[in-house]
Structure 1
Amino acid sequence: MTQPRSRNLFKTIPGLLVSAFFLWYTFRGISFDEIRSLRLANPAWVFGVLGFTLASYTLRCVRWTRMMRSTGARFPVCARVLMTSLAANNILPFRIGDIMRVFTYAGDLGASPSVILSTVILEKLLDIFVLVLLFVAFMGKNVNPHSRLTAEVLLGISSVGLLILLLGARMLEPVIQRFFARFHKDPGQTSKLHKIEHWLLLALDCIRQIGIAGSLLLLLQSCIIWACEGMIFVSGARLIDLAVDHIGPWQAVSVANLSYLIPSSPGAIGTFEWAVKTSLVSHSANEPHAALYGLALHAWLLISVTGAGGIIFLLHRVRIHNRTPLLQEIETLPRELPDA
């Protein structure tokens, strides 16, 4: 086990270097006096940060329970698994939390890994669609044409992806079957291809069972989730009386969360702070205050989500008397697709 762990550690070094560069780039030139000048100008907004954080992540659990409805998984189990996976994503590389959600907790959820994977993909598509929509809606006047074009392309891709998954799942099934039928004549590839085909068909069947009405409800829930997330950013700005226009925090929430797509350390450390600072400065915020605001807000989100998920994870392990070390469980994750 030592060699795989060493290789995985070596693979994390580029991400750590990316995070270190973005942290340096974001906070260069900020003096200690500027840090000390930051004050909690409106303490009542602490309740806004706390309340909207609780609402945002509770609604994420509700949304995923809705996606898992066809499997019979209940809210308490879905909430535990989702919060545990989010906590793991914040501290472990390679989105291990999502992989654990698909494979490690399949038995807890009473679902096959392929069905869970389909919901994870749908969840990511919904989030990216809403985030890019927010970015396009609250783009500042100073956004360069390349960023505007990138945002519009991402919006188009995510829209097409959602439409195909939500409205065309039934029509895609025969297309996939015909595609894989061409390759089943090769005995050397038959087993792997059957496995991939089986996974794709199970995933499409899960999405098809959600239905158009259920899909529209999921989209509405996603919009509410990101409205709550945006209000965390607004509450944080009001808390320190950050001088920024009304749409600055809304662009910051979209760019900051899209920054998770940039390969970096777990938790998007560095890229998140850079994204928040860049967004707020384009909306007239003071550079040092915008950078420190991004750091404080990111610290809160990492501590609250990781802390909540970690506590839930530990309490469950104590309840079921699981003494297996977490890293040992991660080593047992499959390196290729299982049969179901």
Structure 2
Amino acid sequence: MKSVKYLVALLITTVCLYVAFRGVNLGRAWSIVTDQDRIRLLPLAAFSAISLGVMWIRGWRWKYLFQSEHHATVNGLTTANLIGFTTNNILPLRIGELVRALVARRKVEGPMSYVLASLVIERIFDSICLLLCLVIPLAYTESFPPAILKIAQVMLYLLAGAVVLLILLGNKPHTAEKAVVKLTGLLLPARFHEKVKGFMGMFTEGMKVLRKKDVLVKVSVLSVLHWGAVVFSFRLAFAGFSFDSLPWTSPFLTLGIVGMGVALPSAPAFIGPIHWAIIFSLHTAYGLPNDDAAALAVVMHILMMVPVTVAGLIAMAREGMTFGQLRYGAEHLDEAAEPEQVSVQTD
């Protein structure tokens, strides 16, 4: 099964890289990157710094998804974010989300199922914000190419679905729990069914945090702050390449399509999909030459990934963790009889 996943990720990465850089004059793209009259280092440095800084905002937001008795801290959850994202940047098969849960479980006094529930909530808020990034440009731009309009149309439906799902999880968590338990009872052996039943009980408790209006407001505000900072950082990256003629909506649309791209299975560090997303959005929607967009995509990718990865490696060293331990913990997460007992293997 793993070999199939590896092959699928490799195939998607290869296809995305081919489509993204097909027809690109690599010599001209390199000349753009090395053009001292064109490249502005300060905006690019700020873009890179914000890419790292938003990890702290994510930790701040994540803290509000836990109860007070869990004693969650912003620094502890930021550490979990850094290590999780670093794992995605270096190891295959996207186990970073499970790693985030494993590290967070060491930082909070709560069961693993509750931690995983908080990640589900977090991802729903992220999805809503990214979908809004695709919708906003449509309200302020008279026309887009058909390919962009089709993507936006699909995203509108997904946005509506994400909002409905958030409402249902907040107001009817037990309904979702009963549905999952009943379904697994029909499909799985009794011993696995009991594990799922116990897991879903605590998972449902985690979803109940959405009923608290103050939590909902705080998480919503911090989600907007987080993704607003990312949009601003994209604008800075564009300015760093002197792409000043791009409209103010361009970082919104680019970020929205990047969000779609990185959801695809791929090689570590989202190689392929992220390059395709940046080049496709800027060239197709705004007419930026392929060579220019390709140069920007490569530099943005490096400036986004390197600071987070370095910080994550430092965090791993401080926590005494290795990639082998994290991989082991992620692979055995679903094999534990009690989810809250799963931890990083340190032997």
Q: Distance in 2 between matches of 1:179 and 1:235?
A: 45
Count of residues in Structure 1 that have an aligned counterpart in Structure 2: 323
Determine if contact 1:115/1:203 at 8 Å carries over to the other structure.
Answer: yes
RMSD of aligned Cα (Å): 2.5
Q: Distance in 2 between matches of 1:29 and 1:267?
A: 24
Quote the offset at 1:104 in angstroms.
Answer: 5.5
Structure 1 residue 21 corresponds to structure 2 residue 15: yes
Moved over 4 A (4+): 177-184
Q: Which residue of 2 aligns with 1:263?
A: 265
Deviates more, 1:172-181 or 1:153-162: 172-181
Partner of 1:152: 156
**SS of the residue 1:63 aligns to:** helix
- Please give the per-residue CA displacement for 1:265-302, whole angstroms capped at 9, x wherever unaligned: 12221111111111112123222111211111011111
Structure 1: gaps (5+ residues): 1-6
TM-score normalised by structure 1 residue count: 0.86
1:252 aligned partner: 254
Determine the C-alpha separation between the residues in 1 that align with 2:60 and 2:153.
34
CA contact (8 A) 1:22 1:271 kept: yes
Kindly tell me: are residues 336 and 44 of structure 1, through their superposed partners in 2, closer, same or farther at Cα, counting changes over 3 Å?
same
Superposed counterparts of 1:74-223, under 5 Å:
74-103=73-102, 105-139=104-138, 141-144=143-146, 145-166=149-170, 168=171, 171-173=172-174, 176-177=177-178, 180=181, 189-209=189-209, 211-223=212-224
Tell me, in whole angstroms, the C-alpha distance in 2 between the residues paired with 1:74 and 1:115.
16
Relative to structure 1, is the Cα distance of residues 180 and 270 closer, same or farther in structure 2, using a 3 angstrom cutoff? closer
Shift of 1:182: 9.5
| Distance (whole Å) between structure 1 residues aligned to residue 175 and residue 237 of structure 2 | 50
- The 10-residue stretch of structure 1 (172-181 or 78-87) with the greater mean CA deviation from structure 2: 172-181
Q: Which runs of 5+ in 2 are unaligned?
A: 340-347
**Offset of 1:183 from its aligned partner?**
8.4
The answer to whether the Cα contact below 8 Å between 1:102 and 1:114 also exists between their aligned partners in 2 is no
CA distance, structure 2, for counterparts of residue 182 and residue 307 of structure 1: 43
**Inter-partner Cα distance in structure 1 for 2:276 and 2:182:** 48
Whether 1:326 and 2:323 are equivalent positions in the alignment is: yes
Report the Cα offset of residue 93 of structure 1.
Answer: 2.3
Deviation at 1:336, TM superposition (A): 3.3
Contact 2:77 2:104 (C-alpha < 8 Å) held by counterparts: no
Q: Name the amino acid aligned to 1:112.
A: P
1:285 aligns with 2:288: yes
Structure 2 counterpart of 1:315, one-letter code: R
Q: 1:44 aligns with which of 17, 39, 42?
A: 42
| Percent identical | 18
Q: CA deviation at 1:10?
A: 5.7
SS in 2 for 1:67: coil
Structure 2 Cα separation of the partners of residues 251 and 103 of structure 1 = 33
- Give CA deviations for 1:125-165 in whole Å, capped at 9, x if unaligned: 11011000110111462242432321111111111111122
Measured against aligned partners, the alpha-carbon deviations of 1:233-255 in whole angstroms (never above 9, x if no partner) come to 10010011024222112210111
Change (3 A) 1:260 1:182: closer
Contact conserved, 1:115 with 1:206, CA < 8 A, in 2?
yes
